[in-house]
Amino acid sequence: MSGENTRELSLLLTSGAAEAARSTEGVAFLRPGLADVVRGAARLGPPSASGVRVRYETERGHWHIQVQLVTAPGHRAVDVTRAVRSAVEARVAAALVPARMDPARQDEAEDGREASASVSVTVTVTGVS
């Protein structure tokens, strides 16, 4: 995978993972990064993907996705973590399968083995609102 393709796919995965996490029941918000805190309320435009970090390990062809979030009151952290991990994995798998469509590997892509074998998702609850 070329560097430019990796960057584009990284941005796609970051925004998709953030959207999937934010839409999961029990998530109050994604943990903002330092830049988001500094910008504060002056930010215009759509919500950012703060709280989501995506890294590609070139040697293994492996994606690492880290999500940091705050849970809403009345929700168990373990349940929210599991739900967010499932939602992010599903969103990322849907994004990766078309990106990796290669005639030689089409059977793997169709049954999802390629996407699930090449992604790890870590969800960390940093607080309760």
Per-residue pLDDT at 61 exceeds 80: yes
Residue 52 corresponds to which tokens in the numbers above?
Answer: 């989501």
What pLDDT score was predicted for residue 47?
A: 54
Per-residue pLDDT at 64 exceeds 80: yes
pLDDT average, residue stretch 37-57 = 69
Per-residue pLDDT at 98 exceeds 60: yes
Rounded (5°) CA angle 21-26-30: 45
Q: What are the backbone angles phi and psi of residue 46, rounded to the nearest 5°?
A: -70, 160
Q: How many residues does the chain have?
A: 129
